Amino acid sequence: MATEEKTLEQDLEELLEVETFDPPEDFTSDALVSDEKIYEEAESDFKAFWEQQAEALDWAEKWDTVLDEDDPPFYKWFTGGKLNVAYNCVDRHVEAGNGDRVAFHWHGEEGETRDITYADLHRDVQNKKKKEK
């Protein structure tokens, strides 16, 4: 057992020595977050930071508590809150006038590609709902 632990410890030490590389400039220039002060904000008051991030979503019911720490290690985030994930992923983008923006780029196994817009997704979901009725 001691040998296994030493090997694991050695493996971890080796991993810590692995070189890291900054992302390409064109990747970072297109990033949504460019001000690295965000890391300091998150570190100084992580509950307030995540509460602020959660405000960017449309909540069906707002949460009562940002982080419920009553039953460690089973913490619960945004207790009492309810989200409609489909609405947040698709509908709100269409409502904001961004329906023609690409939601994702699809690449098939045979090399075929397709750009799927938020409007495409919204239309497909609405059609599926109609067929189910």
Encoding tokens for residue 98?
A: 């961004």
Encoding tokens for residue 16?
A: 């810590």
pLDDT at position 30 is: 84
Answer yes or no: is pLDDT of 35 > 60.
yes
Q: pTM for this one?
A: 0.64
How many angstroms from the chain centroid is the CA of residue 18? Answer: 27
pLDDT at position 31 is: 84
From residue 2, give the alpha-carbon distance in Å to each of 7, 8, 66, 81: 9, 10, 43, 47
pLDDT band at 69 (very low <50, low <70, confident <90, very high): very high
Answer yes or no: is pLDDT of 54 > 90.
yes
Q: Are 123 and 117 in contact (CB under 8 A)?
A: no
From residue 57, give the alpha-carbon distance in Å to each of 9, 17, 79, 93: 42, 39, 15, 11
Per DSSP bridges, beta strands 65-68 and 82-83 are unpaired
pLDDT at position 75 is: 96
